[in-house]
Chains A and B, each alone.
Chain A
Amino acid sequence: MKWSNRQFGEFEFLPEHVLTFPDGLIGFEQLQKYILINDEDSQPFLWLVSLEDADVSFPVIAPHAFVAKYDEEVHKKPDETMLVIVSLREKMEDSTVNLRSPIILANSMGRQVVLENDGYPFQYRFLKSASTAEKG
């Protein structure tokens, strides 16, 4: 199977790569088929790429990279994979991940939930702990 995305160009995938989101993503309810692209230059980020709209691709990352106990606190089940969506800002260090509404994947099915716990922000600046001092 083939699909062409604006950023990734044409690529091939197998039926078992397809992730179905019966309710879509929030605000993207009409798009239900995605794949995860593992782009070497983007690691540890992955790309959740729509198979229905060539302009839609979400950078995602496993949340425990930033919050050690995240999986535990949101009661992730063993067969589930959690990913959070990255939002880029003009200044790189202002970029955020959305810890409040993660994506949950299991058995080729996906859904995006909104956590009750508002201790997890929609916009978590994940680079803030990294050094902001400029060299030179």
Chain B
Amino acid sequence: MLILGRKVNESIRIGDHILLKVIAIQEGQIKLGIEAPADVKILRTEVYEQAVLNNRQAASARKDSITAIAKQLPATGEMQTLSIKTVKSVKKKDDTN
């Protein structure tokens, strides 16, 4: 890891488009200002990790569990019409072998 010492109001450039500036230091906390293009994701690491954790847990969800939950939901009338095309699921072939 590259380590650089910076004082308040000093900054660092990362690549051509990202500027990281030390705004204030108080009581063990550093306030950072970041200038970056809109498409650069900037996240607190613990927030990123939480998002990863949630996705990992969800990725292996079982269909029968979702079916069970779907039955618990109060009927909301017709399903929301999506502007996105969906594929109708075909019953899985019985492959118990």
Contact = CB atoms under 8 A, between A and B. Distances in A.
B86 A43 contact: no
Secondary structure at the A interface, as helix, strand, loop or mixed, is mixed
B93 interface: yes
B55 A58 contact: yes
Given A95-B69, A114-B47, A26 B93 contact: no
Contacts of B85: 14, 16-17, 36
A27 B87 contact: no
Interface in A59-112: 59, 62, 64-65, 79, 81, 85-88, 92-93, 95, 98, 100-101, 105, 108, 112
Contacts of B72: 92-93, 127, 130
B48 A37 contact: no
Nearest to B43: A114
Contacts, number: 155
A9 interface: yes
B87 A100 contact: no
Interface residues of B, number: 42
Interface of A: 7-14, 16-17, 19, 23, 25-28, 35-47, 55-59, 62, 64-65, 79, 81, 85-88, 92-93, 95, 98, 100-101, 105, 108, 112, 114, 122-123, 127, 130
Given A36-B85, A86-B66, 13 more contacts: A9-B92, A23-B41, A38-B87, A42-B67, A45-B70, A65-B73, A85-B54, A85-B55, A87-B58, A95-B69, A114-B47, A114-B51, A130-B72
Interface of B: 41, 43, 47-48, 50-63, 65-70, 72-74, 76, 79-80, 82-90, 92-93, 95
